[in-house]
Homo-oligomer: A and B are copies of this chain.
Amino acid sequence: MFKYNKHGPFSYFYDMKGTLWLIPNTLNDGDPLKSLPAVVVEQVKLLRYFIVENEKSARRFLVRTGMKSLLEEIEFGLLDEHSRVDDLEPLILPVLKGCDAGLLSESGCPGVADPGADLIRLAHASGIRVRPLIGPSSIIMSVMAGGLNGQRFVFHGYLPAKPQDRIRKIKEIENRSKQNQETQVFIEAPYRNRQMLNDLINNLSPDTLLSVSVDLTTEQELIKTARVWEWTKFDIDINKRLAVFSILKT
């Protein structure tokens, strides 16, 4: 059970709700001060309640943030892909009672391509202030760096895993990119990235633009934009590496 008394003896008596802070995680397991503004790290250090996708990796993030000595004081709530609507209210209750919370993703921005959005919507519906903090998003960084259409783009999340469904989806979004002149952005589980790249090269039109952003913000960062016919000449292995894919048929 949540130990409210840790968060000040008066939190019962004030009709004052806490704030839900949205904390971007690093993309690279590195020093948070290299990926987040110093004021964001300072804000994180003030929090003692975190809603996280995975407690173990959240602890590691907090240790890297310099909060090792505070870990015993910290409460964690779990919000992952198995969480159901009924799980959200207990997670938000401490915030209703006056305690600030930090929502932390496994990587990048919470509420984007992770299970956080429903909790954020509940916070709005409960009159809780939601404050997004500045940090890395592999999606926006790949849109920036890809040089496809940055005036209009769609993020699809994961494409279907089954080969035939995936190939159908690839062709569908290629058509959509041509029709709407929208960059189509999507991701894949890292261990399927080689297959995904092959499927793209083999099924897109030769003149479609394909951009792949790999291992963003790390030493191994690789960002490549070229027509599909040019991709057949590259010798790049992206398997088991974090990648964001974008296409645009001009």
Contacts and interface: CB of A to CB of B under 8 A. Distances in A.
B34 A35 contact: no
A156 interface: yes
A155 interface: yes
Contact of A117 (B34, B135, B151): B151
Nearest to A225: B124
A72 to B, nearest CB: 29
A144 B112 contact: yes
B130 A223 contact: yes
A109 interface: yes
Interface stretch (A36-44, A190-198, A199-207, A234-242): A36-44
Main secondary structure of the interface of A (DSSP, over half): mixed
A209 B211 CA distance: 32
Interface string A152-181: 111111000000000000000000000000
Contact of A37 (B35, B121, B124, B155): B35
A64 B224 CA distance: 32
A140 interface: yes
B150 A114 contact: yes
Interface string A92-118: 000000000000000001111110111
29 contacts: A36-B37, A111-B143, A111-B150, A112-B150, A113-B150, A113-B151, A117-B149, A120-B147, A120-B225, A121-B147, A121-B148, A121-B209, A121-B225, A124-B147, A124-B224, A124-B226, A129-B223, A130-B223, A132-B145, A132-B216, A132-B223, A134-B136, A134-B217, A140-B140, A152-B154, A152-B155, A152-B156, A153-B154, A153-B155
